[in-house]
Amino acid sequence: MSKDFARPTRNPAAPGVADEEAAGPEIRPTNEMSAGERLRLIESMRPEDAETVPELHAVDVPDKLRERIEAAMSKYPEIRSAALPALWAVQHHYGWCTREGLRQAAAVMGVTPGYLESLATFYDLFRTSPVGRHQVLVCHNISCWLRGADDLLSAFCEAAGADAHEADHGGVSSPDGELFVKGFECLGACDIAPMASIDGRYYGPLDADDARTAVEQLRAGAEVLPDKALANLPAAGGPEPDPDPRVKAAEGA
């Protein structure tokens, strides 16, 4: 993941850096870097490499994105609180948190892109690399695992043509770019275990057939599993028992 966020060691926009130096080959930190290489990279950094807050007039921000971020900033007593809403807006606009999108949001909010990047990599729901169009998060925490979540995740992967191991380790997109499948920690819907969150909506309990159907429906652009949607489920205890006398008395008063 860090590859997508790798930065050049020299900030071309920083004043005082010679052009030929800025134009030199970029050294990017990667996971494969040896400790020595990493150390040399860090030692080569200078204060003027520090990223600055992008000037709003120098960044071309799509109007819609800017409106959304500014609306969020106006909702809070302090504008930094709008950082998460701003990242949601970027992700909504581009499908994932692109570097350019982060720069645009940073310009609107008056923070460094690196600041927003530090948030985007911290929170699980932000994607920091391109992903499939529809997001399928399969819960594989205790309650769902006890009811067959591992099989459900495999079924989704098989239907999507994605690798199940990768889906369980950070998520994977299907080859056609339509789906992104990820094994996810507890989604807070253990009552419908095993379950999945598909494009932000909850569905369960699901079996392998449901997974295949859902993937087909997503690819066809149809409504997904209407009879399995959480929004339509009644309370677990069934029809309301006669109200407790104390509750009834209070309502009569």
Partner 1 sequence: MPETRLLFRRVDEPELASIDTYRRLGGYRSLERAFRDMEAEELLGLLEESGLRGRGGAGFSMGKKASFLPRGEMSKYLCCNADESEPGTFKDRELMQKNPHQLIEGIAIAALAAGAGWAFVFIRGEYAEVADILDRAVADAYEAGYLGENILGTGSRVEVVVHRGAGAYICGEETALLDSLEGKRGNPRLKPPFPAIQGLYGGPTLINNVETLSNVPHIVANGAEWFKGFGTEQSPGTKVVSVSGCVQRPGNYEIELGIPSRELIYGLAGGPPEGREVKAWFPGGSSAPVLTAAELDLPYSFEAMADAGSMLGSGAIIVADDSVSIPELALRTARFYHHESCGKCTPCREGTNWTVKMLERVISGEATPMDLDIIASVQENIIGHCLCVLGDSMAMPVGSMVEKFRDEFEAAIEAGRAAAPRPLDESTTDARPVPLGVSA
Residues that bind partner 1 (CB under 8 A): 2, 31, 33-36, 38-39, 42, 75-78, 80-85, 87-88, 118-119, 122-126, 137, 141-143, 145-147, 184-193, 197, 200-202, 230-231, 234-237, 239-244, 246-247, 250-251, 253
CB atoms within 10 A of CB 185: 12
SS3 content of the chain, % helix, strand, coil (to 5): 50, 10, 45
Instruction: Considering the complex, state which of residue 44 and residue 118 has its C-beta at the smaller distance from partner 1.
Output: 118
Instruction: Considering the complex, state which of residue 82 and residue 179 has its C-beta at the smaller distance from partner 1.
Output: 82
In angstroms, what CA-CA distances link 74 with 54, 69, 79, 90, 213?
Answer: 20, 9, 7, 17, 42
Instruction: Considering the complex, state which of residue 22 and residue 217 has its C-beta at the smaller distance from partner 1.
Output: 217
Shortest gap between Cβ of 153 and partner 1 (angstroms)? 13
Taking a C-beta distance cutoff of 8 angstroms, is the pair 196, 137 a contact? yes
Shortest gap between Cβ of 93 and partner 1 (angstroms)? 16
Distance CA 159, CA 164 (A): 11
**240 DSSP assignment:** P
Shortest gap between Cβ of 36 and partner 1 (angstroms)? 7
CA neighbours within 13 Å on the CB side: how many for 202? 18
Shortest gap between Cβ of 18 and partner 1 (angstroms)? 28
Instruction: Considering the complex, state which of residue 10 and residue 127 has its C-beta at the smaller distance from partner 1.
Output: 127
Instruction: Considering the complex, state which of residue 64 and residue 169 has its C-beta at the smaller distance from partner 1.
Output: 169
